[in-house]
Structure 1
Amino acid sequence: MSAINGADMSIQDSSGEQTGGPRKAGGRLIVLTGPTAVGKGTVEAALRHAHPEVWVSVSATTRAPRPGEKDGITYWFMDEQEFARREAAGEFLETALVHGMSHYGTPLQPVLNHLAAGVPTILEIDLQGAHRVRQRAGELGLEVFYVFLAPPSFQDLVTRLNMRGTENEEQRARRLETAKVELASENQFDRVIVNDSVDKAAQALWEVISKEYGL
């Protein structure tokens, strides 16, 4: 079972006591999304390297870890049974079945805690997850700014997915079909950033964050 209730899942108040229970968000949540293989994780890592004060939510997933990935850092890895139990208990802000293969979800309480503390907070999630955040934002009192990370071209996306080498041919074909649908929805977002350069994309994302948080 994943140590999802570990230190990264919550923050402490000034008295040293761990915060608990739902809290109204005190800042604007930044949602970063985009199609498969567009480089969301790479841009997010570049952003955090340059601006470590930004907190990026760690998603939960039922897929198997890839080489080099670590539980609680890359994702909270868990089996389908644990994921379903936590989903039923209302522990996720959003969940999605991605490419018909694996479940992903955003643990809710850490997001609420960091926003309430005024920490710049980002979700890096797929398009399904972004739509589900839209559906729940009102009931949770969340103010959200949605950013879509786009490739320079669809062929660039194909090349990136092939170079990644983490999916078989059937999985790549499924992901690319999904990506075509996702790319058609980019006009639904507050800001579109084209990832033709990781550093430029990370800087553009920081400009969004600094404006929204008054940094």
Structure 2
Amino acid sequence: MRRRIAARFAAAGIALICVGPFAPAWAGEDGPLVWAPSRTGANAYKLRLGIRSSGRWEAASGAELSMKAVPSGKIIPPEAPVRLWGSVSRQGGPRAAARSSRVSMGFNPLTGTGNVGAGTARTWIVTPTVDAEVQRNIAVQCNVYEKHCDQPKLTQSARLSSTATKTSIAVESGLSAVGFSGLDSIGVEQRVGNLKLGAAVADPLLAPRSLFTLRYNGKW
């Protein structure tokens, strides 16, 4: 009983941090700290913490904490309760046709699984109220304990965003050694302040399933 009560209080605490009415007041727009809680499932939460350094290249690193529980309140040990992450990114070009590059990495010390990815993004101003963005990424996953790596996977996405309503329509597809996966997902995203709400259909052509996300990002 005590475990259930503790789990429920912990889940409620993380949920309050993610969507609570006071969360935007704690976070500023600029600063060296990264704080990004998110709800990844019905009873699953994730909190990304880190430090950022600005300059010609922006570098950031930190840890990601995960927690999951069943409806009764019992905590389920996640596969990656603590995950280390890091990234280096750079942006350039005019706002009408901006470009950015990014290299990211992550490591799970419990299982030895790590991943490295690199990507580029281009953004255009289509109309005064509509922006378009195209992203291309390549990623590979390895296990340092078992000393093997999976085949790299290439993903690309396209997004149309309304600057007036903060609403976006996103489409994503992928390519791996197995072949072209076709349409991986299609969905809608809505920004409300620092909150980002999402609803998508994954694998809509073969085995469609719905996905809902709620994220909060803050810098201070």
TM-score by length of 2: 0.29
Larger % of helix: which?
1
Q: Higher strand fraction: Structure 1 or Structure 2?
A: 2
Which structure ranks higher in relative contact order (CA pairs < 8 Å, sequence separation ≥ 6)? Answer: 1
* TM-score relative to the length of structure 1: 0.30
